[in-house]
């Protein structure tokens, strides 16, 4: 019984009969005393009937949660249980905009090439980008080829340290250290994923903060998460997603955006960058219950799960904007490299529902490389005093 109840009893006793007031108050106080958890516990201790309290184990590892890998179940091949876009309410008369990443990337590269020429004429130097490639994954080799080609097109010097998949972690660290100390190198990236026997975080953290053009250094990610801080570099893929949306005239503020995947390469930095644009962000991962229902409520869907055809037409609401970051290699004997790339989104279904969508290839990929070149240019401009943060 609270203070208000005591006041009511006191007022009642004054009006009717002052004599029982002390009696009533004593009953209230005794009732409160009997209901006290501390008093009850003391009585249980006296009687020996109290159960020992289970103490929760303390420790930051428990507070941070279990470290489970995001292992996605592949969608059924036939997707027989997935409603067709017509069943999902698709409008076959609407026109879907195919967001041309190649064209957007070309414009960015032209601007970078002009700035590189100006830098060379002013300071006599050009930006330098170093790549560390470990192993012989075909997709990683393909990405590195495109990055090297991009450097050549804009006049950025490129260096490559290619190591076998069975090399030691120390050999990779030595390559990173060598590039850290090279003044002609302004950007360093380690192509992911690395072989399983290597500590990815340790290697990425060894990259000089001032040369972390991939934006994976803990300080860059931390500063991205704090709206009052400014990271030196932001993840190239995250920047590419936002650039594609802005260049396509798509409003971000106040929109509900679902990011599928939470990797440090795409999902995490993209969700953080979106919050800086004042969107409402939902993050879907391998343990999310009913991801289809969540995604279907979104104005914008950005998928970076790495699972071919994960997102079906039924996952999208009419008029949603779709950014497909997935680049999943599929065996294809007719291709020059023996495989072709597919996205996370079933393009044939999504194009019938979405208002705008990026293709794979030709969407996010080219712009991601353009953002890498832009980050490398910015790094060199800082070194030569041509930029102020």
CATH number at 163 reads: 3.40.50.10860
Q: Give me the domain span that covers residue 209.
A: 119-222+371-383
Local structure of 76: helix, strand or coil? coil
| Any domain includes 52 | no
Q: What percentage of the chain carries pLDDT values higher than 90? A: 69
Q: What percent of the chain has pLDDT over 70?
A: 78
Cα→Cα distances 122→26, 117, 119, 356, Å? 90, 9, 5, 42
Q: How confident is the model at residue 249 (pLDDT cuts 50, 70, 90)?
A: very high
Q: Is the model's pLDDT at 16 over the cut of 60?
A: no
Which two three-digit tokens encode residue 303? 């998928």
Q: What is the mean pLDDT of residues 248-262?
A: 97
Whole-number pLDDT of residue 352: 96
Quote the pLDDT of residue 341: 85
Q: For the residues 303-319, what does the mean pLDDT come to?
A: 96
How large is the average pLDDT for residues 357-365? 96
Apex 143 CA angle, 276 and 157, nearest 5:
90
The whole-angstrom separation of Cα 63 and Cα 59 is: 7
Task: Determine the Cα–Cα distance for residues 26 and 32; give it in Å rounded to an integer.
Answer: 10
Q: Which segment of 178-187, 204-213, 333-342 scores lowest on mean pLDDT?
A: 333-342
| Residue 330: per-residue pLDDT | 85
Residue 163 · residue 172 · CB < 8 Å: yes
pLDDT at 120: 97
- Which residue from 114, 111, 134 is spatially nearest to 189, judged by alpha carbons? 134
Question: What pLDDT is stored for residue 74 in this prediction?
Answer: 72
The CA-atom distances, in angstroms, between 300 and each of 296, 354, 355 are 10, 9, 10
Say if 17 falls within a structural domain: no
Residue 270, pLDDT above cutoff 70? yes
Residue 388 maps to a domain: no
List active site positions: 147, 191, 214
Q: How far apart are CA 264 and CA 192, in angstroms?
A: 11
Determine the Cα angle at 320 with ends 319 and 321, to 5°. Answer: 120
Q: Categorise residue 113: left if φ over 0, alpha if ψ from -120 to 50, beta otherwise.
A: alpha
Band of residue 71 on the pLDDT scale cut at 50, 70, 90: confident
* Phi, psi dihedrals of residue 91, rounded to the nearest 5°: -105, 110
What is the C-alpha to C-alpha distance for residues 188 and 63, in angstroms, rounded to an integer?
A: 34
In the predicted structure, residue 379 carries a pLDDT above the cut 50: yes
Task: Name, in order, each residue with C-beta under 8 angstroms of 27's C-beta and a sequence gap of 6 or more.
Answer: none
Helix or strand or coil: residue 342? Answer: strand
Q: For 260, phi and psi rounded to 5 degrees? A: -100, 115
Number of domains in the chain: 1
Averaged pLDDT, 227-237: 94
Distance CA 31, CA 28 (A): 5
Task: Classify residue 104: in a domain, yes or no.
Answer: no
Please check whether residue 327 is in contact with residue 142, taking contact to mean a CB–CB distance below 8 angstroms.
Answer: no
Question: What pLDDT, on a 0 to 100 scale, did the predictor assign at position 52?
Answer: 54
Note whether residue 282 is domain-resident: no
pLDDT band with cut points at 50, 70 and 90 for residue 139: confident
pLDDT confidence band for 203 (50 / 70 / 90): very high
- The answer to the question of residue 134 being in a domain is yes
For 24-37, the pLDDT digits (tens) are 445 444 544 444 44
For residue 73, name the pLDDT band (cuts at 50, 70, 90). confident
Q: Are 294 and 288 in contact (CB under 8 A)?
A: yes
Q: What integer is the mean pLDDT of 34-58?
A: 52
User: Residue 81: is its pLDDT beyond 70?
Assistant: no
Does residue 160 lie in a domain region? Answer: yes
Please name the helix (run of DSSP H) or strand (run of DSSP E) that holds residue 322, with its range, or none. strand 321-324
Mean pLDDT of 181-192: 97
Residue 193 pLDDT exceeds 80: yes
**32-46, 104-118, 147-161: lowest mean pLDDT where?**
32-46
What CA dihedral angle connects 65, 67, 69 and 70, to 10 degrees?
A: 20
- Kindly tell me if the per-residue pLDDT of 21 is higher than 70: no
User: What's the mean pLDDT when you consider all of the chain?
Assistant: 85
Average pLDDT over residues 288-292: 96
Domain for residue 272, yes or no? no
């Amino acid at each position: 019984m609270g203070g208000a109840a005591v006041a009511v009893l006191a007022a009642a006793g004054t009006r009717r009969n002052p004599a029982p007031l002390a009696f009533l108050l004593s009953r209230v106080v005794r009732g409160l005393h009997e209901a006290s958890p501390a008093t009850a516990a003391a009585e249980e201790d006296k009687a020996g009937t109290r159960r020992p309290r289970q103490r929760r184990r303390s420790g930051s590892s428990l507070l941070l949660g279990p470290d489970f890998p995001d292992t996605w179940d592949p969608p059924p091949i036939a997707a027989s249980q997935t409603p067709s876009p017509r069943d999902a309410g698709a409008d076959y008369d609407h026109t879907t905009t195919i967001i041309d990443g190649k064209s957007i990337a070309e414009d960015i590269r032209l601007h970078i090439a002009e700035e590189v020429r100006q830098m060379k004429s002013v300071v006599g130097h050009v930006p330098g980008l170093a790549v560390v490639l470990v192993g012989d994954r075909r997709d990683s080799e393909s990405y590195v080829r495109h990055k090297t080609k991009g450097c050549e097109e804009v006049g950025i010097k490129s260096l490559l340290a290619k190591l076998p998949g069975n090399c030691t972690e120390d050999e990779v660290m030595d390559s990173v250290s060598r590039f850290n100390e090279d003044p002609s190198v302004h950007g360093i990236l380690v192509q992911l994923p690395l072989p399983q026997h290597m500590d990815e975080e340790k290697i990425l953290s060894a990259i000089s903060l001032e040369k972390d053009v991939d934006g994976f250094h803990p300080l860059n990610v931390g500063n991205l998460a704090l709206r009052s801080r400014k990271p030196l570099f932001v993840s190239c893929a995250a920047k590419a997603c936002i650039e594609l949306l802005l260049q396509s005239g798509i409003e971000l503020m106040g929109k509900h955006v679902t990011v599928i995947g939470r990797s440090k390469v795409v999902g995490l930095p993209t969700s953080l960058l979106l919050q800086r644009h004042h969107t409402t962000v939902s993050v879907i991962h391998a343990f999310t219950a009913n991801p289809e229902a969540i995604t279907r409520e979104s104005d914008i869907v950005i998928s970076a799960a790495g699972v071919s055809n994960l997102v079906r037409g039924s996952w999208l609401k009419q008029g949603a904007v779709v950014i497909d970051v997935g680049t999943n290699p599929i065996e294809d004997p007719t291709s020059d490299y023996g495989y072709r790339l597919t996205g996370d989104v079933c393009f044939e279904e999504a194009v019938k529902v979405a208002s705008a969508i990026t293709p794979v290839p030709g969407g996010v990929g080219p712009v991601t490389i353009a953002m890498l070149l832009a980050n490398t240019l910015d790094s060199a401009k800082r070194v030569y005093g041509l930029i102020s943060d």
